[in-house]
Amino acid sequence: MTHHYVCINGNVIPAEEAVFNIQNRSIKYGDGLFETMFYRKGRAILLEKHVHRLLKGMALLKIQTDERLTLTHIAASIDTLCQKNQLSTARIRLQVVRQGEGYYHPKANTFSYILEAETLQQIDYPLNQPALNVDIYPQPIKTCTALSNIKSCSAVGYVLASLHASELGVDDCLVLNSENRICESTHSNIFLIHEGRISTPPLSEGCVAGIMREQLIQIMNEESVDSTERSINLEDLLSAEEVFLTNALRGITSVGSFRGINYARKQADAWQQKLQSSLI
């Protein structure tokens, strides 16, 4: 029998042996956060940025950190786990959970972590991916606060939006913030192109502080591209010429249609190539 392995607090064990204590605060309260990373060619892509976002989120949640979450230690742990699972390309999930007993008021602010590695077929960020058909989940699920910028274990809003997408027969749903503005999709940040100008919601709109979003904005700034961070509403979506989504695993994915409106696909693949080149 071939085992699949996970890493819990530095211990690599078969996944079927992993167990959780009844006091696990992620199960009880969603009290934690996570990072999803793309591992290829012996390294996790943009690991430094992922670790920075993780530690910033932990500080926001008042979860203490220690040497187990240094860049060096995380990189070594990911390498060990991928080697144990015989993976050269993988989807990495690093979840941090506040440790200890207590109800809403925790008795401690230390942490446990869980590291998972799942096989991926892709080697690079793919070009010419099938464009997505999207809709909007009608209920606001994101607040316009810093808590919405982290990848929280409390993700029931995304679950409901994903179920809504399945019910509608579309590929993904865009999600609304508390001001009924579009801030992201269930798993990606959103970019619009209108009259040649590229726009994406600012973090103050409640979107996740996406690593690929950050990387792409950095590239655009370096190339002095006409781009801006601004709020996006339904009218902006209806009048956009091109729409694409960004996340750590797929890079850039084009949106092909929204409620019968078809979008062009002129820039997404070119930006995907630039994104790929920036990660070599």
Assess if residue 80 is contained within a domain: yes
- For 232-237, what is the mean pLDDT? 97
**Alpha-helical segments (H) within the chain:** 25-29, 47-60, 71-84, 156-168, 211-222, 234-239, 268-278
How far is 10 from 115, CA to CA, in rounded Å? 9
Give the position of tokens 């204590």. Answer: 21
Assess if residue 225 is contained within a domain: yes
Assess if residue 168 is contained within a domain: yes
Assess if residue 125 is contained within a domain: no
Q: State yes or no: pLDDT of 94 exceeds 70.
A: yes
Q: What residues have CB less than 8 Å from 17, skipping those under 6 apart?
A: none
Assess if residue 126 is contained within a domain: no
Q: Are residues 149 and 102 in the same domain?
A: no
- For 125-149, what is the mean pLDDT? 94
Which residue type is seen at 222? Answer: E
Q: Which of 74, 94, 119 is the last residue of a domain?
A: 119
Q: Are residues 181 and 83 in the same domain?
A: no
Assess if residue 11 is contained within a domain: yes
Q: How much is the pLDDT for 125? A: 86
Q: Which of 119, 144, 177 is the last residue of a domain?
A: 119
Q: Are residues 155 and 253 in the same domain?
A: yes
- For 144-149, what is the mean pLDDT? 97
Q: State yes or no: pLDDT of 55 exceeds 50.
A: yes
Token pair listed for 88: 């050269």
Cα separations in angstroms, 58 against 6, 66, 206: 22, 11, 17
Assess if residue 254 is contained within a domain: yes
Give 103-118 pLDDT, tens digit per residue: 999 999 999 999 999 9
Q: State yes or no: pLDDT of 194 exceeds 70.
A: yes
* Residue 53, domain extent: 5-119
How far is 264 from 234, CA to CA, in rounded Å? 18
Q: Are residues 107 and 150 in the same domain?
A: no
How far is 229 from 271, CA to CA, in rounded Å? 17
Confidence of residue 238 (pLDDT cuts 50, 70, 90): very high
Q: Are residues 153 and 265 in the same domain?
A: yes
Mean pLDDT of the chain: 94
Q: Which of 78, 93, 119 is the last residue of a domain?
A: 119
Helix (H, G, I), strand (E, B) or coil at 155: coil
Q: Are residues 47 and 166 in the same domain?
A: no
Q: How much is the pLDDT for 124? A: 84
C-alpha angle 47-132-266 in degrees, rounded to nearest 5: 85
Q: How much is the pLDDT for 1? A: 47
Give 256-278 pLDDT, tens digit per residue: 999 999 999 999 999 999 999 99
Cα separations in angstroms, 217 against 25, 183, 204, 214, 246: 35, 16, 16, 5, 11
Task: Provide the number of structural domains found in the chain.
Answer: 2
CATH label of the domain that carries residue 88: 3.30.470.10
Adjacent-strand bridge partners of 99: none
Q: Are residues 141 and 264 in the same domain?
A: yes
Q: Are residues 112 and 137 in the same domain?
A: no
Q: Model pTM?
A: 0.94
Token pair listed for 147: 């808590």
CATH label of the domain that carries residue 265: 3.20.10.10
Q: Are residues 272 and 156 in the same domain?
A: yes
Q: Are residues 97 and 36 in the same domain?
A: yes
Assess if residue 124 is contained within a domain: no
Confidence of residue 2 (pLDDT cuts 50, 70, 90): low
Q: Are residues 66 and 42 in the same domain?
A: yes
